Amino acid sequence: MSTETEQTKAPAFGVDESGGRVSYPTYTVPDHILDRFPKASRSIWSGAAEKDWNSWIWQQQQRVRNMEMLEKVVKVTDDERKAYDGSVEMFNMSITPYYAALMDPEDPNCPIRLQAVPKLGELHISPEDMEDPLAEERDMPVPGLTHRYPDRVLFYTTHNCAMYCRFCTRKRKVSDPGSAAQKQQLDGALEYIRTHTEIRDVVVSGGDPLSNSDDRLDYILGSIRAMPHIEMFRLGTRNLVTLPQRITDDFIYMLRKHHPVYVNTHFNHPKECTREAYDACRRLADAGIAISNQMVLLKGVNDDPKIVKELNHKLLMMRVRPYYIYQCDLSQGISHFRTPIETGLNIIENLRGWTSGLAVPHLVIDAPGGGGKIPILPQYLLGKDGKNVTLRNYKKEQFTYVEP
């Protein structure tokens, strides 16, 4: 077997002092690493030209949007058909060919399929479900911008996503074309950031901000970077998972002009860690961009410590830091995905001490009603008697620490 591939040899592009492109030396990745990241099959798109399959524009044009197309990709169940009919008006279906090809055509409980294809659970609205569970609209001083925390804001730059994830917490936006961010709205949000000098961190989100063109992103990021009080910004995107073809050389070239840049992405299952996803993350990491992962805890998808450990080990090989495990939000129609709090605590118990600290993310609940992210931890502090503090480790062995 060859020790290198076209993907692993592809150079990352940077910018020299005169503004021109420079490329960095190529390198190889050992086969024993690459072999853990299989290339995605192409399913019914096996006859697609290479240039088309690798085009993020083509991938979006060819998305699975209706039942007729879905039936060509998987063996659709009666429940899936009923769920589609009942949910399509509220929250449409949209799956890129790349992500659709990861689905098991025979298994309706495939963890990829559960995230992409409507289920009957979506038609059930629980009493506690909310349209805007995180109260993002309440803390919106200008259209398209949530300012909740003292020094950072959430900036919605588009309502579009490459794929409509069935557990989406912002269905109210991505399912409503009227929520699209026009240039006037973008400029209004940028003006707010410009005049509020307490802001040092901007989370660029949507929808998915990578649904914007490179030129539009360059305008948005360049405008933010020109503000002296902004220290950093983060791009929140799931394109690394659902549309890795989006990470082109042109995109990397544009992004590197705006350092420091951070990317938060959203892998939920090891099956999403393909060679294509690996290569997309490599391109970003080679360009000096730090990548973190925010996994949502989903019943039937990743509510098993073994699955989360495998995912986090793969992410670290992809140079992606496991950052958060989110308890599933109280969004409308996703109660079938929610798990008890104990499920997440059990996952943390089976990670901390049993694997690298780098592979142990924070378990958080984004509190309903806009309370912000609240960390949930197993109890390792057992008690205190005077100066003696009783602790327990990951094996539940007890130890005493004497305070000064």
Among the residue ranges 4-8, 53-57, 101-105, the one predicted with the least confidence is 4-8
Helix (H, G, I), strand (E, B) or coil at 354: coil
Annotated catalytic residue 216: no
The one catalytic residue in 149, 219, 323, 394 is: 149
The one catalytic residue in 36, 42, 148, 319 is: 148
For the 145-378 domain, the top CATH level (class) is alpha beta
Q: What is the pLDDT of residue 18?
A: 60
Whether the per-residue pLDDT at 2 is higher than 50: the answer is: no
User: CB neighbours of 388 closer than 8 A, spacing ≥ 6?
Assistant: 400, 401, 402, 403
The one catalytic residue in 110, 161, 281, 328 is: 161
Residue in this structure with the two tokens 């995912």, named with its chain if needed: 311
Whether the per-residue pLDDT at 194 is higher than 70: the answer is: yes
Annotated catalytic residue 366: yes
| Cβ 387 vs Cβ 379: under 8 Å | no
Token pair, residue 86, equals 């009942």
Annotated catalytic residue 165: yes
Identify the bridge partners of residue 261 per DSSP, sorted by sequence position.
Answer: 233
H helix intervals, 210-329: 214-225, 239-242, 249-255, 275-286, 305-317
Q: What is the pLDDT of residue 3?
A: 38
Q: What is the pLDDT of residue 163?
A: 95
Annotated catalytic residue 152: yes
Q: What is the pLDDT of residue 5?
A: 43
Residue 189 banded pLDDT, cuts 50, 70, 90:
very high
The one catalytic residue in 63, 113, 119, 152 is: 152
Whether the per-residue pLDDT at 7 is higher than 50: the answer is: no
The one catalytic residue in 170, 275, 282, 314 is: 170
Whether the per-residue pLDDT at 24 is higher than 90: the answer is: no
Annotated catalytic residue 170: yes
| Cβ 149 vs Cβ 196: under 8 Å | no
The one catalytic residue in 9, 72, 373, 384 is: 373
Annotated catalytic residue 168: yes
249-292 pLDDT tens trace: 999 999 999 999 999 999 999 999 999 999 999 999 999 999 99
Among the residue ranges 69-83, 119-133, 377-391, the one predicted with the least confidence is 119-133
User: CB neighbours of 143 closer than 8 A, spacing ≥ 6?
Assistant: 185, 188, 189
86-125 pLDDT tens trace: 999 889 999 999 999 999 999 999 999 999 999 999 999 8
Token pair, residue 222, equals 């360049």
Q: Where are the domains positioned within the chain?
A: 37-122, 145-378
Q: What is the pLDDT of residue 4?
A: 40
The one catalytic residue in 110, 165, 273, 328 is: 165
The one catalytic residue in 168, 273, 281, 328 is: 168
Residue 348 banded pLDDT, cuts 50, 70, 90:
very high
135-159 pLDDT tens trace: 888 999 999 999 999 999 999 999 8
Distance, CA of 319 to CA of 291 (rounded, Å): 7
Distance, CA of 95 to CA of 241 (rounded, Å): 12
Distance, CA of 209 to CA of 211 (rounded, Å): 5
Annotated catalytic residue 321: no
Q: Taking Cα atoms as reference points, which of 169, 178, 163 lies closest to residue 245?
A: 163
The one catalytic residue in 253, 283, 329, 338 is: 329
Whether the per-residue pLDDT at 177 is higher than 70: the answer is: no
| Strand 372-375 with 362-367, pairing | antiparallel
197-233 pLDDT tens trace: 999 999 999 899 999 999 999 999 999 999 999 999 9
Annotated catalytic residue 149: yes
Distance, CA of 363 to CA of 303 (rounded, Å): 13
User: CB neighbours of 266 closer than 8 A, spacing ≥ 6?
Assistant: 237, 238, 240, 241, 293, 294, 295, 296
Q: What is the DSSP letter of 39?
A: P
Q: Which residue type, as a one-letter code, is found at position 231?
A: E
358-377 pLDDT tens trace: 999 999 999 988 888 999 99
Annotated catalytic residue 304: no
User: CB neighbours of 264 closer than 8 A, spacing ≥ 6?
Assistant: 203, 234, 235, 236, 237, 291, 292, 293, 294, 323
319-330 pLDDT tens trace: 999 999 999 999
Distance, CA of 72 to CA of 58 (rounded, Å): 18
Mean pLDDT of the chain: 92
63-74 pLDDT tens trace: 999 999 999 999
